[in-house]
Structure 1
Amino acid sequence: MSTSELTWFKSSYSGSQGDDCVEVALSGRPQEPTTAVRVRDSKLDRSPRLTLNPVAWQSFLSYAARD
């Protein structure tokens, strides 16, 4: 799947006022596990993208959710 075919989504914590945020897209075939998590700047469609494996992404989310 090319990155142009990905479906990008923003965090549910993002504001609707053009706030700084990131978008995420999940790679993989439908009905199969995610093979890669892609992250980009929400304000720049063609910004550099970070690609993580699902384990690294889950580790990041766990870290970010800590108080």
Structure 2
Amino acid sequence: RTRLLKYLLENEKNLDTISQKQIAIDLNVRAQSLSRVLKELKISELIDTKKGRIEILNKDMIMKELW
């Protein structure tokens, strides 16, 4: 979860062009594992997902979770 959150913040400007499959490859995790964590983040209202793309909804809360 922490690695994914860091990745999302570091790549925030490019998230509209990065697929979930590519994120899984970049983080060296299985797509199913990534999907499970994305679902948790979505339920927590930190992100939203649409058509395989990710949008950060609450950057401040993500940063608090990382620090």
TM-score (norm 2): 0.27
Identify the structure with the greater strand proportion.
1
TM-score (norm 1): 0.27
Larger Rg: 1
